[in-house]
Amino acid sequence: MGLGTVLKWVERESLLKSFMLFFLSMGVLIGGLFYLYYKQEQLNLDRAIELEMNSCSFTLKCDAYQIDFIPKVDNTERTHELYRDEKALYVLYPIKKSDDFFLRIYLPLEAYAKQLSTIQVHLFGLFLVVLLLVALLSLGFSIYALHPLREALLLTREFIKDILHDLNTPIATMRLNLSLIQKEFGDDRRMRRIERAIENILLLQSNLNGYLFYHKITQEWIVLEQLIAERVEMIEKNFPQLRYRVDIPKGSRIETNQEALIRIIDNLLSNASKYNRENGEVEVGYDPRIRELFIRDTGKGIADPKRAFERFYKEHDRGIGIGLHIVKKLSKQLGIEVTIESKLEMGTTVYLKF
């Protein structure tokens, strides 16, 4: 697949980081070299001015420099050397048959600054050209370095996509046969366990689809009470030992994407149920005044809530640690602020602020 294909956010992030690392490293190095080059050019300018002043001291024909006489102050002042003060660059020369005065040839600091500015403008333009070449080189290097990785990611994504697609047939077969067995032999605890396992596979399949493949988010008005009731009804049959309470004011409506919100709710309800204690409780509530939905459980709790939304982070053997990461990712796409509070052996509460 060509590099013109739209990059996924992970690939864009990797490309940007590789580019910035190479570009900034080379930029700092080149900036240092240009600074040393500038200091050398400034030294060359000072030497050229000193040589011109020396020539001027013989003929006194100095169009670019000015001449005056200054009294000798002490014996520390040396002739034929370039001095600099707050007003000018100058060189002192001895005067024949005079022990009290020096001949001073000087260049006003404003004129010196103009010559120095010409060098600065030239070097800055050259620096920008070199920096542009470095940017192009950095981009090419980053694309070249990440191309094999990108191809491997695309291959892995396509491979997982094929597996997820192929899972549909055996899952549908299991559900159909389970339904037939339940009709023939009746429902019991073992059947419910199989049904729960199938639902977990479906949720995992949905999470992997959401994790690997980006879908455009469209907004719509949703009756929150109805949606929550449907999702709770679907999951509570798999956890008959738990109590579920729903407190959603009638008529509560929110504008969001229904499919994405269902996946968020399903993940949170699944976690609240799987990691709950025996005869525990799951509560879902909504405060329309602050537009905040919460899902609370009486389960095991999370030791490090700050890391709960990290990819592949988990504190238990069950799951693969992407459920809450999917919740965070989808919430960000929907513009929902998601926070979590948890205490070990007391339970967890997740807040969704719309």
Amino acid 1: pLDDT: 39
Amino acid 144: pLDDT: 86
Neighbours of 313 (CB within 10 A): 15
Q: Are 331 and 313 in contact (CB under 8 A)?
A: no
Q: How far apart are CA 288 and CA 148, in angstroms?
A: 50
Amino acid 32: pLDDT: 94
The answer, yes or no, to whether residue 4 has pLDDT greater than 50, is no
Across 45-54, 145-154, 281-290, least confident range: 145-154
Span 207-216, pLDDT tens digits: 666 655 555 6
DSSP 8-state class, residue 290: T
Strongest mean pLDDT among 134-148, 214-228, 282-296: 282-296
Query: Mean pLDDT over residues 262-270, rounded?
Result: 90
Q: How far apart are CA 46 and CA 199, in angstroms?
A: 82
Residues of the chain with CATH 3.30.565.10: 216-353
pTM of the model: 0.50
Query: Mean pLDDT over residues 11-29, rounded?
Result: 88
If pLDDT is split at 50, 70 and 90, which confidence band does 324 have? confident
Query: Which one is the CATH code of 216-353: 3.30.1330.10, 1.20.1260.10, 3.30.565.10, 3.30.110.70?
Result: 3.30.565.10
Span 156-169, pLDDT tens digits: 777 777 776 677 77
Q: What value does the mean pLDDT of the chain take?
A: 84
Handedness of CA 176, 178, 179, 184 (dihedral sign): positive
Q: Are 256 and 218 in contact (CB under 8 A)?
A: no
The three-class DSSP label of residue 248 is coil
